Amino acid sequence: MISSLASRLAVAALVVGLATTARAEDYTKEHIAAAKAAIEASHVADGLDGILIGVAQQTKTLLARTNPALQNQIDEVTNAAAIELAAKRPELDKQIQEVWAARFTKEELQKIAEFYTSPVGQKLSKETAGMVQMSGVAAQMWQQKIAQEMLAKVREELKKRGANL
């Protein structure tokens, strides 16, 4: 339930963020170029290449369940569609550049790119995914521990009040 709510809130935040982001024509070419350089230097968009691969796999799985005898044709047609749709990736890049441009000045973006091309910036970029994953695991473990403690405290207090749950 919390996960579902968090997902809905994340989507809502993204929609609001994109809606309040100025249009590309509101930024100079230099500002967008600085955003692109900062994004590339920080490698934050590197994982986005997997989106199309994931969508293709989901499509194959969905259609193969419907008619497993067509698996080879489904694979062939889905792969062809994926190659064709790969040409749309610049649309996503443009949107992400606009998001960054809306939040940082051209000068700030240049400093971000400069940082991420430094040795410590490159190390941060390399280590971020692992740190985020480990932080997520730590947060889940903490959540489970706190949930158990809360349940025990609430049960204890309710028991004192005559309710036995």
| pLDDT in single tens digits along all 165 residues of the chain | 445 555 555 555 555 554 444 555 689 999 999 999 999 999 989 889 899 999 999 999 999 999 999 999 999 999 999 999 999 999 999 999 999 999 999 999 999 999 999 999 999 999 998 999 999 999 999 999 999 999 999 999 999 999 988
CA distances from 1 to 7, 53, 142, 151, 153 (A): 10, 28, 18, 17, 22
Name the CA radius of gyration of the chain, rounded. 23
